[in-house]
Amino acid sequence: MVLFDRNHQHHTTFYDGMHAVARAVDVSVFATGIEICDKEQHKKFFCPYENLQIMDVPRDGQSGYAHCTQFPESQLLLDDALFKAIKPHIQTKTPWNIIVMIAILVVLVGLIVFVTIPASAPVIATMIPATVEKRLGALVLDEITRGKLVCPQDAQPHMMLQALADDFAHANNIAPVSIVIVHSDEINAFALPARQIVLFDSLLQQTASPEALAGVIAHEIGHVAYNHSMENFVRVLGMGLILEVATGGGGTMLFLGTELYHNAYSRDKEQQADEFAARAMHAKHYDVHKVADFFARSMKEESGLFEQFSWLSTHPTHKSRIDFFTSYPQEQSSLTPMMTDTQWRVLQKMEGCGFHKERK
């Protein structure tokens, strides 16, 4: 046998798993394995490298330990010097049984992430603690509004839309929602966790009537009522984002969530929200048919401004939604105007929000 470290033996501790106490030993490093010598017991045995497993490496002044498979419960204490001496001889090949186990684990994780979690998202979403949902909503809203102007809550446009949302929520026996109006050239509206609805002011300015705008808001309240927003976070990103937020994180998972949250609703969920909007407006005697104007207007534009309608991009087709809202049964004689022309102008101009200084 060729002895490495011929002029030096490593003094350490060895527990063979068969006796009650660990013993002080000398370890000699050879080309094919290590020799462990217990001088007190006058015992010596050889552990080939193929039988030697590094269970924990020494770090930060703390010893690691190795295991010799000849002794099922054995532990050999490793200091830095002994670890460096044996490390070049330890094979790093992963046994085939480990590879197979890893492959099976990957498949199982894939099934959980892509099948089980999405299918269970509605149930899981209801189990998320309110404190976690509130933190998630705050983090996402902060990400969305970063670098943008937000309409103050005491500005008249915000108070008007918040009152409208409160009215819809109260009439449908659901908890209040919070309206957030953000200055942006993007024409968009979406629901967030923690019962928040974000409206970009470009959508308000390009909507043809108060009823059409009310339809958009009622639609988003529908997503809140059905907890679609939390379902989407669970379904699209699994539990990773939720756990990260629950433990005080944010970061990359939050960024991905912010990018995906409003593009992930299924058509069934969009139809649910549309039906909620129609019922909510009908109950208040608002003209449900005017909601169709919102979609009809976008269909007439093949290019230009309405290409920015991200709110429409993943929803059911314009034609099917126009048909749904225009065919909704209502008595024209019982309809109630939502607001005066003066109120509508104030709303469209975003008076008091401070946005006009930013617009060209």
What was the pLDDT predicted at 111? 52
CB–CB of 48/33 below 8 Å?
Answer: yes
Q: What is the pLDDT along the chain (360 residues), one digit of tens a residue?
A: 545 554 468 999 998 877 777 889 999 999 899 999 987 877 888 999 989 988 888 988 888 889 898 888 889 999 999 999 998 887 544 555 556 677 777 666 555 555 555 566 677 777 778 888 888 888 888 888 989 999 999 999 999 999 999 999 999 999 999 999 999 988 888 999 899 999 999 988 888 899 999 999 999 999 999 998 888 777 766 655 555 555 555 555 555 555 555 555 778 888 999 999 999 999 999 999 999 887 777 666 544 444 444 545 555 567 888 899 999 999 888 899 989 999 999 898 898 999 865 444
Positive or negative torsion for Cα 159, 161, 166, 167? positive
Structure token pair of residue 27: 């370890």
Distance (Å, whole) CA 190 – CA 180: 10
CA distances from 323 to 229, 242, 267 (A): 26, 38, 15
Structure token pair of residue 319: 């034609």
What was the pLDDT predicted at 61? 83
**What HEC string does the chain produce?**
CCEECCCCCEEEEEECCCCCCCEEEEEEEECCEEEEEECCCCEEEEEEHHHEEEEECCECCECEEEEECCCCCCEEEECHHHHHHHHHHCCCCCCHHHHHHHHHHHHHHHHHHHHHHHHHHHHHHHHCCHHHHHHHHHHHHHHHHCCCCECCCCCHHHHHHHHHHHHHHHHCCCCCCEEEEECCCCECEEEECCCEEEEEHHHHHHCCCHHHHHHHHHHHHHHHHCCHHHHHHHHHHCCHHHHHHHCCCCHHHHHHHHHHHHHCCCHHHHHHHHHHHHHHHHHCCCCHHHHHHHHHHHHCCCCCHHHHEHHHHCCCCHHHHHHHHHCCCCCHHHCCCCCCHHHHHHHHHCCCCCCCCCCC
With a CB cutoff of 8 Å and minimum separation 6, the contacts of 179 are 158, 161, 162, 165, 197, 199, 217
CB–CB of 245/139 below 8 Å?
Answer: yes
**In the block, residue with structure tokens 């059905």:** 226
Q: Give residue 356's identity as a one-letter amino acid code.
A: H
Distance (Å, whole) CA 241 – CA 248: 11
Distance (Å, whole) CA 326 – CA 322: 6
What was the pLDDT predicted at 294? 78
CA angle 55, 57, 58 (to 5 degrees): 140
CB–CB of 69/5 below 8 Å?
Answer: no
Nearest to 213 by CA among 179, 242, 236: 179
What was the pLDDT predicted at 109? 59
Structure token pair of residue 299: 């269909």
CB–CB of 335/287 below 8 Å?
Answer: yes
Nearest to 316 by CA among 266, 277, 357: 266
What was the pLDDT predicted at 26? 93
**Tens digits of per-residue pLDDT, 150-171?**
999 999 999 999 999 999 999 9
First to last CA, the chain: 85
Q: Give residue 181's identity as a one-letter amino acid code.
A: I
Distance (Å, whole) CA 122 – CA 124: 6
What was the pLDDT predicted at 100? 66
What was the pLDDT predicted at 328? 92
pTM score over 0.75: no
Structure token pair of residue 255: 């960024």
CB–CB of 70/47 below 8 Å?
Answer: yes
